[in-house]
Structure 1
Amino acid sequence: MKATKILRSLSAPNALFESFSTSSAPSISMAAPRSVYVERSLDEDREKNAESPTDKKYRAEKSPPSRWEFVAALGVFLSFSLGLLFIYLTMPAADYEILKLPRTLADLRLLKDHLASYARHYPAKFILGYCSTYIFMQTFMIPGTIFMSLLAGALFGVGRGLFLVVFNATAGASSCYFLSKLIGRPIVVWLWPEKLRYFQAEIARHRDKLLNYMLFLRVTPTLPNLFINLASPIVDIPFYIFFLATVIGLVPASYITVKAGLALGDLKSVKDLYDYKTLGVLFLIGSVLLFPTLLKRKASV
């Protein structure tokens, strides 16, 4: 009897352990799916926070220009500067203290009075120097080309002045296009990241009628011409479309500026060139140019 009681007392803890294990088994089996759920939610958060390859590439490009790109840009700038200096040194003698890039309308009036006789005596040399300066400024994004356009109207009249302005602006914009194609991508991404994304999306939307859309941008002040010149090769706009849009699209605004140069003495501010009436006319012309694109999009829808 004593042996039987001892065996029962020894087997009781095992039975208790087995009953505890059996009763706790369901709770363990219910806890397993919860841990899996937590792991899955963590994985989803990691996937959401992970950068896509496009974002990584964009983030890598959004950095200042490299040392090689800076040296290349500096080399091109120095080459153009030496060429411009050579042209000025070969021109007939003049009062170089007065010859400077105009920054205000007062500077422009003084320059116009000084250069009027010079342009009459040395027309070929003067036009060569004028065109070289305009293209240099347009290529390297130096402010002040609007004063050069006003000067063309004041010295040459509407006809010849308009031809000179459109020719120089197109040549300078084309030179800026190829310069940006060579070393401009990190600069544009660094300076205007959001504007570049917007421009790229709009180009993709108007790819079927790209010339019409580029004409609209050139005629209207929707985007600055400086940004268009730099960003066009980056968003894969073909050069022939860029060239045609520049030649044709710059005519209306250039005509307004050149014509204002005839009455340079009456002009009080550069802002007076583009009042609400003038802007309305430019947007009307741009809307007419953009109409075929909108019509085709409506038909496709």
Structure 2
Amino acid sequence: MQGACKLNNDSSTTQFTSLKSKPEENNRSSTGSFVILGLIFLTSIVALGIVYLNFPKVEESEKQHIKLPRDIEDAKRLGNVLSRYKDKFYIQVLGAYFITYIFLQSFAIPGSIFLSILSGFLFPFPLALFLVCLCSGLGASFCYSLSYLVGKRLVMKYIPQRVTEWQSHVDKHRQHLLNYIIFLRITPFLPNWFINITSPVINVPIVPFFVGTFLGVIPPTFIAIQAGTTLHQLTSSSDMLSWTSIGMLALFAVISLLPVIFKKKLQEKID
């Protein structure tokens, strides 16, 4: 087993090094990669526009609030508008939320934290929790796929050192990769956008990536949804954090590593 793991690590490192060691080819391909990413982004913008055009007709004074929230006040105003139409146009509101969240995650655009908070204001807690975790998993996987298809050379051109460092960390945890991804999603050690775009470059498989993301965002999403139930009392997104919530995140981070610790202890006894 250890030999197979070492062989796999060597193979992934070789592929990574091969990609890194061709700067001229990377430079020639960068422009094409940017063009493809731009076209995919524009297509996604068109899809968002179609969703907007098919949204129920709102009051003229409310149209200005139908936008991606950039702060908690934007989230409050958007929440007020959506809550008015939610009962009569539930599917449209749910669909618009779903597509918008995935769009933000897919292109690593800031703002999904406000949508997570907003879900607690708009939907029942179990639905909100499942919805945000699913959107996070799908959006991160789409970002992973974009990086795999057209972003590898861009990643290696602009942040090669950070990728190299993370490659060494991942290679140490390949035997328990799922737990490692869950741990990273719970903790703030690495930005989510960095994990999303670099994972395909260092050969993190898509299945543990998706499952680890889905499960790993549960604790922080739980806190965000709880905050959303008192949306109008919030003055900023940082209000949802308290010593209790930070302690809860730390506890879940430790729990995510327990299977790894027990496995190591068991292996030591067997050996």
**In the TM superposition, what are the counterparts of 1:153-164 in structure 2 within 5 Å?**
153-164=120-131
Q: Which amino acid letter does the alignment assign opposite residue 173 of structure 1?
A: A
Does the CA contact (< 8 Å) of 2:128 and 2:225 recur in 1?
A: yes
Identity %: 37
Shift of 1:247: 1.3
Distance in 2 separating the partners of 1:64 and 1:171: 31
Task: Decide which of 29, 35, 39 is 1:71's aligned counterpart.
Answer: 35
**In the TM superposition, what are the counterparts of 1:217-256 in structure 2 within 5 Å?**
217-256=184-223
Does the CA contact (< 8 Å) of 1:64 and 1:187 recur in 2?
A: no
Q: CA deviation digits over 1:185-236, x for unaligned, max 9?
A: 2332344333212211111001111111111111222211111111111110
Q: Which amino acid letter does the alignment assign opposite residue 170 of structure 1?
A: G
**In the TM superposition, what are the counterparts of 1:60-139 in structure 2 within 5 Å?**
60=23, 66-95=30-59, 96-139=63-106
Does the CA contact (< 8 Å) of 2:155 and 2:197 recur in 1?
A: yes
Partner of 2:239: 272
Does the CA contact (< 8 Å) of 1:64 and 1:186 recur in 2?
A: no
Unaligned 5+ segments in structure 1 are 1-52
The higher-RCO structure (CA 8 Å, 6+ apart) is 2
Q: CA deviation digits over 1:221-267, x for unaligned, max 9?
A: 22111111111111101111111101111111111101100011222
Distance in 1 separating the partners of 2:174 and 2:17: 21
Distance in 2 separating the partners of 1:78 and 1:56: 28
TM-score normalised to structure 2 length: 0.83
> For the structure 1 residues 196 and 64, does the alpha-carbon distance in structure 2 shift closer, same or farther, using more than 3 Å as the test?
farther
**In the TM superposition, what are the counterparts of 1:278-293 in structure 2 within 5 Å?**
278-293=245-260
**Off by >6 Å, runs of 4+ in structure 1:** none
Paired residues in the alignment total: 249
Partner of 1:203: 170
Secondary structure of 2:174's counterpart equals: coil
Distance in 2 separating the partners of 1:64 and 1:216: 37
Q: CA deviation digits over 1:62-84, x for unaligned, max 9?
A: 86961110111011111111122
Task: Decide which of 108, 127, 142 is 1:141's aligned counterpart.
Answer: 108
Q: CA deviation digits over 1:70-114, x for unaligned, max 9?
A: 111011111111122122212221242221111121121122112
Partner of 1:8: none
Secondary structure of 2:51's counterpart equals: helix
In the alignment, does 2:130 pair up with 1:167? no
Q: Which amino acid letter does the alignment assign opposite residue 171 of structure 1?
A: L
Unaligned 5+ segments in structure 2 are 1-15
TM-score normalised to structure 1 length: 0.76
Distance in 1 separating the partners of 2:153 and 2:93: 37
Distance in 1 separating the partners of 2:176 and 2:231: 39
